[in-house]
Amino acid sequence: MSVFRGTKKNGLVKKIGVSVYSTEEATSICKDFSIDVLQFPINVLDQSFDKSKTLTLLKNKNIELHARSIFLQGLLLMDIQDIDPYFQRIKPKIESYKKSLKKHGLDKVDGALNYIKRVDSIDALVIGVENKSQLSKIVNSLKKSLTEIEYDEFAISDADIINPSKWQI
């Protein structure tokens, strides 16, 4: 890390950041290192950062927070019949989530981004798109008013599901 601090001090980089998978990892890194940016996963299924005090702790240290995995590698955007059998054990939860979106008049993109917009401490989003149309949809969705939905019931803690690096598909 001292190499990075030196490059920052010399003006070669403006910010030093890390990407983490868990609240525990974020807390540990922030205890041991001085960073400017932290990228973390958060979505309708993985609400661990939102439910913990980690985001508040990080904001109190003036760390810029970048949310990623908002669509959980596209899982939250898939039609239920297209979801890989690996996710069979959470299909009922996903079906319930999609019924809730329909009830509130939201599509899949709107629903995922609506959850993120509720989290005030997020400074930026990291979202991958394949084309201009997808980007336009996301931008338009972010401009919409917040819809009050109870998301707590959709949270899971199964690391084999919420951490795509553990997926066996």
Residue 143's pLDDT is 96
9 pLDDT more than 80: no
**Pairwise CA distance, residues 128 & 118, whole Å:** 21
Share of the chain above pLDDT 90, in %: 88
Q: pLDDT tens, 26-45?
A: 999 988 888 999 999 999 99
Instruction: Please state, rounded to an integer, the average pLDDT across all residues of the chain.
Output: 94
Residue 7's pLDDT is 75
Residue 3's pLDDT is 66
User: Angle 91-103/108-117 helices, nearest 10 degrees?
Assistant: 90
Residue 74's pLDDT is 95
- In this structure, which amino acid lies at residue 101? L
In which band, very low, low, confident or very high, does the pLDDT at 73 lie, cut at 50, 70 and 90? very high
2 pLDDT more than 80: no
- In this structure, which amino acid lies at residue 74? G
Are the CB atoms for 104 and 133 separated by under 8 Å?
Answer: no
In which band, very low, low, confident or very high, does the pLDDT at 8 lie, cut at 50, 70 and 90? confident
DSSP 64-107: EEEEE-TTTTTGGGS-GGGS-GGGGGGHHHHHHHHHHHHHTT--
> pTM of the prediction?
0.92
**Pairwise CA distance, residues 35 & 141, whole Å:** 31
Taken in order of first residue, the domains within the chain and their CATH numbers are 2-157 (3.20.20.100)
Q: pLDDT tens, 130-156?
A: 999 999 999 999 999 999 999 999 999
